[in-house]
Every structure is written in structure tokens, then in C-alpha cells.
């Protein structure tokens, strides 16, 4: 049977968050690369392996014009380089396995469950007056936000210092999987939910 990077099984991994269960694809592939096969149809990204989706998020060019804690994050030079992004993920998984003695794919799933916001705010306009209203977040968007926050946290922690992207990603995934408040993904989720609660 195929394993992720020919090393890690996914058949025995269970997704505890029922909302995300349908959208986390754990189909086993030796190299998680679908060559954009599922990029054309709406909601087809739910069929893309979750490890590949993490690698895809690592290829982003950062926050664009927005600054992340005073820094412009620019993807650690891996923007558009899928193989480089896959190497970062594989090395990060290797470090996670050595440190936690657990399956790194399972650690990734737990990290996603704990950093996916359930509630967010939207801007509404009524009679020329704008106000914020809290709304429930769709499962697909919850997963997208969690992946984005984990990838950005990895880049932010390895930006302008000696920490490599692999170490930063491994550290972020381990902290997020323990729902540790030091994790930027968990911190961001708490912040978004806190703002949403005050806008109810």
C-alpha cells in the first residue's frame, strides 16, 4: 500500500472534527502532487490530499501588501516551486516524527482542527451605516484559513533569523496540534472568534 513520501500511513488516521471530515482528503499518494487536476471545478480541492494542500499554501507569496508583524513575507523563495515546497513539508514531517514519535500526518490533522476558526465577522451595510455581524464559517473556508495561518506562521518564524522553514513549520504544527497558545495558528483562531463573539 502507498504511503505519504513512502514513509507515513494515513489509513488509521481519524478526523475528530465532524465539520472538517468531508473536506480533509487522506487518499494515500507516495508523492502528494496532482498537477492541478482538481483546480478547475468548484469544491474539487476537497479531493486534493491534505499534505499537498499544505505544500500549495507554502508556495504562496505571503500576505501581499499586508504586513505580518511588521514584515513582508515572501514565501522563502519557494513561490511557485512545488518540489521545494514538498521538500520543506517532508523535512518538517521528519522533524515532527523524531520529536513527538507520532505520525506527522496525524499531527497535521490535529493542528488543522485546532486552528480552524468556527466564527468570523462580515461587514453589512444598512441605510448607509456599516456594521460588523458575526457569522458561522463554512467548513471549506475553515480549512483554508487554518492552512493559510499555519503556512504564514512558519514563514514569519523563519523570516530574518537562522531558523529554517522546515524547523519553523515543524514547531508550528507541534504547538498547534497541542492547542498551545504559543502557536500563531491557534492565536489567530482565538482572536477571530473573540472579535466575532463581540459582534453578535
Count of C-beta atoms within a 10 Å radius of residue 40: 7
For range 161-181, the mean pLDDT: 85
How does pLDDT run across 64-94, given as a tens digit for each residue? 555 555 555 555 556 677 888 888 888 888 8
How does pLDDT run across 99-128, given as a tens digit for each residue? 888 888 888 889 988 888 888 888 888 888
> Is the pLDDT assigned to residue 136 strictly greater than 70?
yes
Question: Minimum mean pLDDT among 1-5, 71-75, 172-176: which range?
Answer: 71-75
Q: For residue 77, what pLDDT is reported?
A: 59
* pLDDT confidence band for 26 (50 / 70 / 90): confident
- Average per-residue pLDDT for the chain: 81
Question: Minimum mean pLDDT among 1-10, 80-89, 131-140: which range?
Answer: 1-10
- Contact (CB, 8 A) for 105 and 26: yes
* Cell numbers at 69, concatenated: 508583524
Q: For residue 199, what pLDDT is reported?
A: 80
Please give the CATH superfamily to which domain 54-198 belongs: Ribosomal protein S7/S5 (1.10.455.10)
How does pLDDT run across 187-200, given as a tens digit for each residue? 888 888 888 888 87
Q: Model's pTM, two decimal places?
A: 0.83
For 114-141, give one letter per residue: b (16+ CB within 10 A) or e.
bbbbebbbeeeeeeeeeeeeeeebebbe
Listed by start position, the domains of the chain span: 54-198
Cα 64 to Cα 184: distance, rounded to the nearest angstrom: 19
| 17 contact partners, CB below 8 Å, separation of at least 6 | 113, 116
Amino acid at each position: 500500500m502507498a504511503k505519504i513520501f513512502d514513509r507515513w500511513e494515513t489509513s488509521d488516521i481519524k478526523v475528530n472534527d465532524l465539520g472538517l471530515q468531508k473536506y480533509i482528503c487522506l487518499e494515500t499518494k507516495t508523492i502528494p502532487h496532482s498537477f492541478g487536476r482538481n483546480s478547475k471545478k468548484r469544491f474539487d480541492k476537497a479531493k486534493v490530499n491534505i499534505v499537498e494542500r499544505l505544500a500549495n499554501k507554502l508556495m504562496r507569496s505571503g500576505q501581499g501588501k499586508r504586513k505580518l508583524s511588521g514584515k513582508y513575507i515572501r514565501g522563502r523563495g519557494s513561490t511557485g516551486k512545488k518540489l521545494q515546497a514538498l521538500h520543506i513539508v517532508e523535512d518538517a514531517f521528519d522533524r515532527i516524527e523524531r520529536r513527538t514519535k507520532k505520525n506527522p500526518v496525524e499531527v497535521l490533522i490535529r493542528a488543522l482542527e485546532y486552528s480552524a476558526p468556527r466564527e468570523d465577522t462580515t461587514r453589512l451595510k444598512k441605510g448607509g451605516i456599516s456594521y460588523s455581524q458575526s457569522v458561522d464559517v463554512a467548513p471549506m473556508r475553515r480549512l483554508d484559513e487554518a492552512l493559510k495561518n499555519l503556512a504564514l506562521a512558519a514563514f514569519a518564524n523563519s523570516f530574518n533569523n537562522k531558523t529554517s522553514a522546515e524547523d519553523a513549520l515543524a514547531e508550528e504544527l507541534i504547538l498547534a496540534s497541542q492547542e498551545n497558545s504559543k502557536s500563531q495558528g491557534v492565536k489567530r483562531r482565538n482572536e477571530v472568534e473573540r472579535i466575532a463573539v463581540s459582534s453578535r
